[in-house]
Structure 1
Amino acid sequence: MQLPPLFNLPKSHLQCYGESVYCFRQDLLTRCGQGKTPLERFTSVVAWSISTTRPGIFGLAPYNPILGETHHVTNGTLNVLLEQVSHHPPVSALHATDAKENIELLWCQSPVPKFKGTSVEAVIRGKRQLWLQNFAENYKMDSPKLQIKIFPVPSADWVGDVSIRCKKSSLEAVLSFYKSQSFLGFGGNSRAIKGKIFHSKTLRTIFEVDGHWDRTVTLKDIHNGKVTVLYDAKEVISKLNTPVVNDPKGLWPSESAVVWSELTQSILKGDWEKASAAKRGVEERQRSLRRERKSTGEDWVPKHFKLGNTKEGVWECWPIEQAVPPAPIIVPVSNQNDS
């Protein structure tokens, strides 16, 4: 949706997608590849997947990325690259590699809003894949839906079912993100999560998952009843450091921080007149480029990904480069060590 700057977060959707991967205080992604058994690695992947779900803010939305916009950030040895590979429909692609840990991520996702009277529900189409290359394990997962309620109580929450699967180990998890019903929308169990981890071939449940994805999620061993903490949001995503530009000359013109620089600075200063002008400027340049391509019959092609979609409308993408190079924007190392 097109919103006036007053209702914009000072960042792009691409930056928000990227932050869910590279902004952390406790590195759960590296832990995924350090498990000694397939089950240890799988439970770590489940914890990491939950950590990518970040709380939203009702009434504020990031900028809609422009076609070809990129976001490139490094955290330690993890290099993350995103590109807006389609504008209509909006499709964002993410590729991340960690050469030291032999880990690779590939996402291709497109939000599809559905209006339901007093609420809007955005279904995130597309799959997320995580490879632990040391073990030749590929984990496929999807995303919960973003539900924005306007009445009776305004809220923005992630809801719906998520599946996580590893074909090699035959392990699977089903997680349900939900908010329990309450009287006239007040009260209820907010940001709750419940699910199970099981063998897909025998359907035998191994662990039960329960808790709140923005607080603590526990794991109950069905065999002996032992309960352990699977995920602690405070330890993982609190007190996050802001990425900083380490190499200004290395920034691409398509970088989110460059594309939206004037708008972001105006919002942070509260200069709404200048912010509106800056946003119009970005949008008008995009319309002009679109008209030019149409007049010449030129098809726009992504720089960093190859793109395709299935009959079900689920988009797929493949990175052109095998590994993501180090970025000019970095996350300070202290981000992982602050107490």
Structure 2
Amino acid sequence: MNSEEEFYDAETGETLLSEFTLYKSYLVQMCTRKTLPAEMISRHNFSVWSILKKCIGMELSKIAMPVVFNEPLSFLQRISEYMEHTNLIHKACSLSDSIDRMQVVAAFAVSAVASQWERTGKPFNPLLGETYELTREDEGYRLISEQVSHHPPISAFHAQSLKQEFEFHGSIYPKLKFWGKSVEAEPKGIMTLELLKHKEVYTWTNPMCCVHNIILGKLWIEQYGTVEIVNHRTGDKCVLNFKPCGMFGKELHKVEGHIQDKSKKKRRVIYGKWTECMYSMDPKVYEAYKKSDKKTGGDSKKLKPVSEYSLFSEESDEMPEVQETVTVIPGSALLWRILPRPADSAQMYNFTSFAMTLNELEPGMERLLAPTDCRLRPDIRAMENGDMDSSSTEKERLEEKQRASRRERSVDEEEWSTSWFQLGTNPHTGAEDWLYTGGYFDRNYTDCPSIY
């Protein structure tokens, strides 16, 4: 069957050739929404302390949180935000030199986490079997993701170029821990990017993310840790250091690193901020600049110390001063710059323009999407529309439906069966991974579970 020509009704299994035109129209018109139907509800009158005070040091995936602390997206939709800067993958595909490709892939890896800046709302936990598809003909790709496990929560995704230029996939095991005043998110799982024309495979893991002042004060986010990107064909490697805030807050949002070839010779230096932009330059020029900068004293501006973090202090972790402009070193080449956010982003969960479109449901799409798609979740839809009471009621109903299904499977000694991904071994890393089995875009959803 040609997946570009035939579709199936999710309920009847009937072929819908007549709806191909509708689907193509949807692809052309999609991602036009500039705002959400309703502004976010203020969280000032809600206290999370009564829920979290017994959870210090615990993993939070099993803790039920009020919907007011959510944002109206599923975690599967949040994952799809990795694709916001797909133009960087297309750029990497077009380059002939492997080092040039690596530095653009590094910029893509940084850009993939940039949307988290000021996004302090928690995405909805996906239900077991939940899916999300995103097709962007204008950007030349399509993506499918599925919640393949509930305990522990595991989300798998697979994106592919419409012109067979690349594949990008991974499975994510998010670990959330509460440390008294902050929540730390460890996005376990390996990202794999395949540039098919060059027969290259790149792998990396994402940095740690921490949301400060969960209990008191202004919420702020930092990302930190070492990200190592490996080109498995050439042996080239990029090491990126996402810097923690530090005592004076001087390092907040900064990313610095280098690219080395298989002989471990440094070929390029990478620097910038994950909230703003990334640059590349020659290592010798970079070192000379750093030496000169030290002699002249560098930035003489006095910075106010950031109070040491204390888990149980009654004071908040003060957000350090941030100068969002990166100092551009002469001879640098711009790799990536973040897109400006919509004017009303602060009232819309700090969404990017890309995020604004992810839950959009055009007329007629219901007949084309899998019945498990996030866009059809009533609790998320209600929250997006500003109906928090309905959102909370629906969230509780869906969670109870999921628990009842789990009890039924236990009685029948029946194992859960995934629809589009299968547990296997990543051929490039040898690590356990959830791999796409294909077939989703054939549009035959008759065997999809009823989860809503």
Q: Same fold (TM over 0.5)?
A: yes
CA distance in 2, matches of 1:142, 1:60: 23
Name the counterpart of 1:166. Answer: 231
1:20 and 1:324 map into 2 onto residues whose CA distance is: 20
1:233 aligns with 2:338: yes
Alpha-carbon separation, structure 1, partners of 2:442 and 2:243: 38
Q: Unmatched 5+ residue regions in structure 2?
A: 1-62, 287-330, 342-350, 444-452
Aligned partner of 1:248: which letter? E
CA distance in 2, matches of 1:270, 1:245: 16
Contact kept in structure 2, 1:121 and 1:146, CA below 8 Å:
yes
Provide Cα deviations, 1:281-318, integer angstroms capped at 9, x if missing partner: 111110111111111010001111111589xxx75111
Could you list the per-position Cα deviations for residues 223-254 of structure 1 after superposition, in whole angstroms to 9, with x for gaps in the alignment? 55531112211379964361444633111111
| 1:41-93: CA deviation from partner (whole Å, max 9, x where unpaired) | 11111111111112244641010001010001111130100001101001110
Equivalent position of 1:255 in the other structure:
373
Separation (CA, whole Å) in 2 of partners of 1:149 and 1:161 = 20
Who is 1:204 aligned against?
Answer: 265
| Ranges in structure 1 where 5+ consecutive residues have no aligned partner | 328-339
Larger Rg belongs to? 2
Match of 2:17 in 1: none
In structure 1, the partner of 2:195 is 132
CA deviations on 1:81-125 (whole Å, 9 max, x unpaired) are 000110100111011111414211110110123343432322221
Query: Offset of 1:162 from its aligned partner?
Result: 0.6
* Corresponding residue number in structure 2 for 1:109: 172
Question: Which residue in 1 is equivalent to 2:300?
Answer: none
CA distance in 1: counterparts of 2:396 and 2:425, whole angstroms: 31
> Which of these residues, 387, 409, 413, is aligned with residue 271 of structure 1?
387
CA distance, structure 1, for counterparts of residue 422 and residue 265 of structure 2: 39
Q: Distance in 1 between matches of 2:202 and 2:236?
A: 10
After superposition, the Cα gap between the structure-2 partners of 1:271 and 1:67, relative to the gap in structure 1 and judged at 3 Å, is: same
The CA RMSD measured in Å over matched residues stands at 2.6
1:317 aligns with 2:434: yes
Structure with the bigger percentage of strand: 1
Q: Report what 1:30 is aligned to.
A: 90
Preserved CA contact (<8 Å) 1:127 1:142: yes
Aligned with 1:280 (options 385, 390, 396): 396
Deviation digits for residues 192-221 of structure 1 (CA, Å, limit 9, x no counterpart): 11111111x322111111111111211121
Whether the 8 Å CA contact 1:33–1:101 is kept in 2: the answer is no
Aligned length: 316
SS of aligned partner of 2:252 = coil
Q: Which moved more, 1:75-84 or 1:229-238?
A: 229-238
Candidates 114, 119, 136, aligned match of 1:75 = 136
The answer for the alignment partner of 1:89 in structure 2 is: 152
Q: Measure, in 2, the Cα distance between the counterparts of 1:268 and 1:153.
A: 23
Secondary structure of 2:116's aligned partner = coil
Contact preservation (8 Å) 2:222, 2:245? no
Q: Does 1:147 align with 2:210?
A: yes
Which of 193, 204, 221 matches 1:156? 221
Matching residue of 2:247? 182
Q: Are the counterparts in 1 of residues 117 and 275 from structure 2 also a CA contact under 8 Å?
A: no
Secondary structure at 1:297's aligned position in 2?
coil
2:246/2:252 contact within 8 Å kept? no
| Residues in 2 aligned to 1:239 and 1:268: alpha-carbon distance in whole angstroms | 15
Shift of 1:39: 1.5
Determine the structure 1 residue equivalent to 2:186.
Answer: 123
**Secondary structure in 2 matching 1:234:** coil
For residues 324 and 103 of structure 1, what CA distance do their matches in structure 2 show?
18
Q: How far apart in 2 are the matches of 1:326 and 1:143?
A: 32
CA distance in 1, matches of 2:180, 2:156: 31
The DSSP-based 3-state class of the residue aligned with 1:94 is: strand
2: distance between equivalents of 1:114 and 1:268? 27
* 1:47–1:230 CA contact under 8 A, matched in 2: yes
Specify whether residues 30 and 325 from structure 1 end up closer, same or farther in structure 2 by C-alpha distance, changes over 3 A only: farther
Q: Pick one of 391, 413, 432 that aligns with 1:297.
A: 413
User: 2:285 and 2:240 mapped to 1: Cα distance?
Assistant: 21
Q: In the alignment, is the contact (CA less than 8 A) between 2:99 and 2:259 conserved in 1?
A: no
User: 2 CA distance for matches of 1:326 and 1:160?
Assistant: 40
Q: Does 1:12 align with 2:77?
A: no
Code of the residue aligned with 2:437 in structure 1: it is I
Deviation at 1:182, TM superposition (A): 3.2
| Counterpart-to-counterpart distance in 2, 1:13 and 1:120 | 16
